[in-house]
Chains A and B, each alone.
Chain A
Amino acid sequence: MGSVKTALRTPWFWAVVGIAVLLLINSIKNPDYLALSVNPTTGLLTGNVLDILRVSAPIIMIAVGMTFVIATEGIDLSVGSMMAVGGAVAMQTLSTMSGSVGAMFVAIGLALALAIVLGAVNGLLVAVVGLQPFISTLIMMLAARGIARVITDGQNTNATNEPFRQLSNGQILGLPTSFVIAVLIVVIIAFFMRRTALGLMIESIGINPHASRLVGIRPRPILFGVYILSAALAAVGGLFSVSEVMTVSVSGTGNLMELDAILAVVIGGTSLAGGKFSILGSTIGALLIATLNKSVLFLGIPAAATPAFKALVIIVLVLLQSERIRSFAFGRAKSKATPPDPALPAASKEKEVVA
């Protein structure tokens, strides 16, 4: 009984429920929705679930990067444009090179290098100049989209490079390669965050930068680090999303993806007020977003309308976060007559909104 209660309290538990509900609705519309089959021409597994995993890879990348930024009480609005930069660099490089594996690594390296430089600019503005994170990254969002345009001369560049195409279209043990790589990256990051003191330091900056300064944590390198990590992961996400179609669309790639990232992070239980993060939560949140994107398409709702659904989910979630604080406060101040149970029925209502 106790473990059930803790599961109900875990924020990402509701994300799992949300994914299950969405898959159920899709299965009701088409009973074969969850079926996997083997494509006779390529010999690869195909299926809607694998599709969801494939499109979730870029979202996982930006969501995990955003998690650490939000944990320091910041925000990175430039991730969507950073995806476009990563994609643009890769496509521009590959379009002038041969289709070898070496060319792929050059393209990935250049994309990551530029993203790291731009991430460092974000870090500089936030950590050294002391600007609000939201305005610094808003400027970067403008500038990076422009940089992506300049790199490709405003064209939607395409390229051919079979190894690079395999990133999104290949499979490892039946799972999409991009998803496997994304999960590996997340596991490595989680290892560094939770097996070293790094994660704790990030959280302490989010709780109280002055206090953490007094205990000897220097905020500058860590803030630099989180913005660089966020930008680099966003570039990887951009690589995944362009390798799917081998074309970068300078205005379309990563457009409005920053909200997806924020949404995934909030669903995963990371508080927007900073100070705590959940890597697993953000990953599951990203999976929920990918499922939502695919389901909306599958149910025949115009793709342009998805933002409305996401907006409803995020409104319910932020209200829930504040309501929770209130019910806790009221419960302690008045009596123990109403423990924080009101949050739970409200949470189940939110799933209906998702559906």
Chain B
Amino acid sequence: MSAHTLAESVPPVPGLPETRQPQQVSRFWVMWERSQALIPTLAALVLLFGMLIYAEIAYGRVFHSGTMSSLLVSFAPTIILAVGMTFVIISGGIDLSVGAVVAFSSVAGVMLMNIGVSGWLVMLLMIVFGAVFGVISGVMIEYFDVQPFIATLAMMFLARGLASILSTTPVIAPEDSPIRLLATDWEIVDGPKVNDFTVTPGLIVALLVVLGGFFFMHRSRLGRTVYAIGGNESSARLMGLPVARARICIYVVSGALAGLAAIVYTAEVGGKAQNVTGIGWELDAIAAVVIGGTLLTGGYGYVLGSIIGVFVLAALRLIITKDGTINPEYLTIITGSVLLAFVLLQRLLTRRRAS
């Protein structure tokens, strides 16, 4: 008796139409749902290519390896921040502190280099500084039920204030500091004139972060847990998933990536660090994540989508600088409107799914 379960004891009915059809319907339904979740990302992709083609026709020299590589290099810190922000937003939270953490990390790091601490050690410390801010906000959110945006807003002000206490004037890293190595130009393709495809170690770091983020979210247990928290936190807890550990881990990773972004950015600007660096970067990162199709309510989203989001922002910046007639004052309004359009698109899709 015990050898047979209930399902085994019932004889199979071959070719029963009732058992097959719902399965097909449900598979179709799953595919439809998945494609719906992809709509914002696809829209972003279409927008991206539309903008690039428009820019190529209107101003020329856009699909140039020189233009492309310099654009990629200048957006490397944003790519790193966007990956961290994707984790946080998929878990249903938000991290407003990343821009300020970049400022604190870079000012503190450069000052440490100036008093003679080894450059490599300092770079490690810069990541640790970021992670410490992440730990504090993670603990506040997980154990004290503070809303994520309040906790990280407090961290934003703390980091910005501490950076200002350290120095209100720009500090510059010593000439021989290894951080400058991160900004060396590596020519991959040697084109005619300035049309070379060059990458910097900083950009490579950003690409590695993207790859790491992709595997973390889609191939690791912790990544699955992050999706589960964003989908329904209490269900995740009831399933016995390590919610507390995962949530704190996300904020630590987001903070640490902000520290990494600080290293890459500081290297790129020639070792100069300022307490006003990174104002509004958290908004760029959030915008990139939302444009890339991650739901602000959590549970849905892709790391690679966020990278498309960063490219959309980069293309926007490219058009505005190439055009020259568009008032730079409109930039924040345009970014805001694009963000709003994508949030509304999300809202439309989630509402349809809910009903």
Chain A residues within CB distance 8 Å of chain B: 75, 125, 129-132, 134-136, 138-140, 142-143, 145-147, 149-150, 153-154, 256, 259, 262, 272, 301-302, 304-312, 314-315, 318-319, 322-323, 325
Contacts and interface: CB of A to CB of B under 8 A. Distances in A.
23 contacts: A134-B149, A139-B339, A142-B332, A142-B333, A142-B336, A143-B337, A147-B333, A150-B333, A153-B327, A153-B329, A259-B153, A262-B150, A272-B150, A302-B165, A306-B161, A307-B160, A307-B164, A308-B162, A308-B165, A314-B153, A318-B151, A322-B144, A322-B145
B230 to A, nearest CB: 14
B326 to A, nearest CB: 12
B336 A311 contact: no
B31 interface: no
Nearest to B164: A304
A305 B165 contact: yes
A308 B150 CA distance: 14
- For the residues of B in contact with A, the DSSP-based class is helix
Minimum-distance CB pairs A-B, first 6: A308-B161, A304-B164, A146-B333, A311-B158, A146-B332, A149-B329
B146 A146 contact: no
Nearest to A312: B158
Given A142-B333, A307-B158, A308-B161, 7 more contacts: A135-B343, A142-B283, A149-B329, A302-B164, A306-B161, A310-B157, A314-B153
B340 interface: yes
B118 interface: no
Contacts of A256: 157
Contacts of B333: 142-143, 146-147, 150
A302 B165 CA distance: 7
Contacts of B151: 318
B347 interface: yes
B211 to A, nearest CB: 29
Interface in B250-286: 275, 280, 283, 286
B132 to A, nearest CB: 14
Nearest to A319: B144
Given A302-B164, A311-B158, A154 B329 contact: yes
A301 B161 CA distance: 11
Given A305-B161, A308-B162, A315-B140, A134 B336 contact: no
A143 B161 contact: no
B121 interface: no
A304 B162 CA distance: 9
B327 A154 contact: yes
Contacts of A301: 165
B233 to A, nearest CB: 16
Given A302-B164, A308-B164, A259 B146 contact: no
A262 B153 contact: yes
Given A134-B149, A154-B327, A315-B140, A145 B332 contact: yes
A306 B161 CA distance: 6
B351 to A, nearest CB: 8
A305 B297 CA distance: 33
Interface in B143-194: 144-147, 149-151, 153-158, 160-162, 164-165, 168
B332 A129 contact: no
Contacts of A305: 161-162, 164-165
A131 B330 CA distance: 24
Contacts of A138: 283, 286
Contacts of A319: 140, 144, 146
A155 to B, nearest CB: 10
A135 B145 CA distance: 20
A325 B347 CA distance: 33
A301 to B, nearest CB: 8
B70 interface: no
